[in-house]
Structure 1
Amino acid sequence: MKIGKLILIFLCFWQAAGAQEAGDIVVVLPGSTVHLRAASEGASRYQWFRDGDVLDGATGAIYAAVQEGKYTVISFNAEGCESGISNEIEIRFSGTSSAPAGEGIQYFCHFFDPVLADIEVQGINITWYDAEEGGNVLPDTQPLEEGGTYYASQAPGGPGTESQERLAVTVFLDQCPDLSVSKEVDNPEAPADTPVVFSVRINNETSPEVKDITIRDRLPSGFAYISHNADKGSYNATSGIWEIPLLSGNESAQLLVHATVLPTGDHTNVAVLDASDPSDTDILNNRAEVTVIPSCLRVYNLFSPNGDGMNDTFRIDCIENYPKNKLEVYNRYGHIVFRQKGYDNTWKGASNVKNTISRNGMLPVGTYYYVLDPGDGSKPVSGWLYIMR
């Protein structure tokens, strides 16, 4: 990597002198880069030329030259005053070009119909062949074949500078991006007005990285949003859009959404993969949903077993939907005073446990505590109840 220095002097100053006239010649191997640096006091921008032609976009103080030719530069100060043209530096290539650089094994997906131009190599004026030596020139539009090996040369200095050595690249077409979406809820039978947590996970099932991932996961009408936490990317609770800039090969990301179950509305929560780069190739695992069926269990905390026919039993709404339930009642000292499997709303406040303080088997007025196991695998429900007479 060589630095060539070109000196300029602004011509619009009355004391200005002309630019240097002596030129330099830089000889490098084909494929080399020569960094040219302009030195001009008070310059705010530059313009570089090769063989007298303007180089588009070359307006910095340093220019990385990769082609043969005669390079010059002019500069401009803040007032737009133009300098004289710099001394000339000529770049010449000599010797044998090296082969282009790149990975010898590269992976693609056959769904995207990859061609030779999709192979990543670093070089100038790349030519593809079907053999390590000699062989036939292949067009950039040549479709890639599974397990095929292709050979690339470069000609940094144009015709006559093509590298004798070629880079061999073997390709495989089985690396198709596949993102899978899964979804869970911590309590699928949560009672209304209680919180639940939805967990959404996206997995990159293959080794290629995937960028610009968009997942749509908006809470339906049967839930009220509380909060969320995403370990990657950002989630917009209003739009329900979860955006992830990048997932590396075999990497995953998780989104947790906390919400309250409402008594009515849609209780099916859906997560869908909307977009990715490259596009997902297996649509069968791009959607996941869970449904919360709000439990109608409702415990009435007060009852009066006095025989008047009104509120005489300890009542639990919908208990008939849980035939395997188990009810236990404790007094304030923590001693069990009543237990029943398959409770059916018939308890009138009598103890069915020995050594319980009672009058004719009936528990005294006061506060007790219950534990109700629905018997369906869901979490037990507990709370207080009051017996009055």
Structure 2
Amino acid sequence: MGRRYLILLISLLLSFSAAGFVTHKYGGPIASVTIKRGDSITLHAATNGAAAYQWFKDGVPIANSNTKDYHAKNAGIYTVIAYSKEGCPSPISEPIEVKIAPDLWIIADDKTRPYGSPNPPLTFRYEGFVNGDGPSVLTHLPAVVTAPTISSDVGSYPIHVSGALSNKYTINYRDATLTITKVPLLITANNDTKYRDGQPYTKGNGVTYAGFVNGETPSVLQGKVAYSGSAIGSVDVGRYSIMPSGFTANNYQITYRPGVLDVIDKIVDMSVLKVSEARSVRVGEVYQYTLTVENKSNMPATQVQMKDALPPELDYVSIAGTTLGIASYDVSSRTITWQVGNMAANGKAVLTLQVKANMHGKIVNSASVTSAETDGNLANNQSSDSKDIDGLYIPNVFTPNNDGKNDSFIIPNLSFYADNEITIFNRWGNVVYRKQYYQNDWTAPGLNEGTYFYILKVTTNSKSDIYKGYITLLRSAVKQ
């Protein structure tokens, strides 16, 4: 009976679940088979009719292994004994060695790239080749892939490696991570300039962006710009910082850079020019001045004002017109005030003033201009005009003939010289008329036609002038 089992158990028929593996002979008569870790191989006893079986691994009985087939998962040398119905054992079978293919790890490498850039080349490495093996022993090489595109958001994404095949190695994979990082975005406050006007600075002057990728614009930012720094609330002349803030972004690492605010005095060049009419003018005759205000700078001017205080020798008549602003005359101060208002850079405005002189001689009249800004050239802020006013015009003939025309000796504008005295002589030097505070009312009563001589003394502001001349008295000749 034992002989028979011995014949039946001389060899083992092997079948296994690890596709692609074959049985090899290593080191003499012991057959071997290599499987992947985690796979199994079915060892089959070649005898028939045995009542029971006992499988051994490395000479140690395997518990609960009493069937004809045994599914081996672990490395070792396996044998089997068959038992008859009577319990007689057969000789131990021919051994077979089950080997576990060595582990080969294919490990993807972690990668990092900034948002908006292409994915870097994906790489991997091998760990576990033995006996000088290399990737050439693989029947199919692995592939490594990841899903993110150039527009994928900041975050962590898996890198998968797979697809390798081998008859010699148990292949294991370890995935990696692609980390997409934020890209720098620089937000810089624009510089600004403010003229000192007593009002605090509050607004900022916008910002400039540097660093957007993928054709993106500020629309991808969350929040809105806010400003801080020493500039906010500044009033006085000086240099201040404008610090922007207020934004967040999923894909950008935001850095803020301050701008500069310069609060400066506005420098303008206001000028005034006062010019009188060129014609001859006598006392009491209305004439005009042309006053021209100019902003000779490239800066606009505000609160432009011109003042013209009339000297005692001039009497105000009217403001004939202005090309800009509003002008008025104050009787008590005898001053024309012209509120020009705002004036554009290199702007000009003209006022026409009508006056009359109440005494003869040289009359000097000055005007001045100011603005809210600092004037860089004070030399032309004032202008004076010197006007020679002719004295009284005294006619040399009058016709007291009661025709209602030229019936009295009238000296035009004598009313401007209320303090006056006139003396009239005949040709022999006899006084025929004398009057203090003469009122233009002498009609030469009882005097014959002829030539008479006069002396007129006028006094104004403690200054006296004497006029001498002749007057021809006509009566009948003019009547005809």
**What's the TM-score, normalizing by structure 1?**
0.41
Q: Which structure has the larger Rg over C-alpha atoms?
A: 2
Higher strand share: 2
